[in-house]
Amino acid sequence: MIELRSAHSRRLYDDWKARRRGRVFPARADFDPLELRYIIGNLSLLDVLREPVRFRYRVHSTNMTQWLGFDLTGKEIDASPNPERGAAIKDHFAAVVERGEPIVRLHEWLGGNHRRLKHEALVLPLSRDGATIDMIMSALSAI
């Protein structure tokens, strides 16, 4: 059982489980953005690219973009201006793909505004065919 501190993370995790409908993973198409209003500003969607495994942001969280001072939408995680942070995030995403399950980690970062942010990062695997992870959803919740 995954242990989540944030009520928003727990709700998103429950939504993810409900949308599986007998499949190993739900698809991005199973989520209506209007139903995710409670966390939409803290969500990022990433394509999982193969050979080698890497990650490209379809949507970089609007709240994280403001807090960090840069937007990674359309870019791979390696484009992060903070290589240490990018490597930690990439490791989190890769662990989700390798293990084939949601993973939550706690992070504390210094933002572009020089303020610290402590948050819970929940990363959920998604799949068009229900079995092969081709996208991930990352949700950040302050703790």
pLDDT at 1 over 70: no
Q: In b/e form, how buried is each residue of 72-91, taking b as 16+ CB within 10 angstroms? A: beeebbeebeeeeebebbbe
pLDDT at 113 over 70: no
Read off the pLDDT band of 143 (50, 70, 90): confident
SS3 19: helix
Mean pLDDT of the chain: 90
Angle at alpha carbon of residue 40, lines to 34 and 43, rounded to 5°: 135
Tell me the per-residue pLDDT of 2-17, one tens digit each, with 9 for 90 and over: 899 999 999 999 999 9
Tell me the per-residue pLDDT of 51-81, one tens digit each, with 9 for 90 and over: 999 999 999 998 888 777 788 999 998 888 8
What are the structure tokens assigned to 24, written together?
A: 């190993």
Dist. CA 141–CA 124, nearest whole Å: 14
pLDDT of residue 111: 60
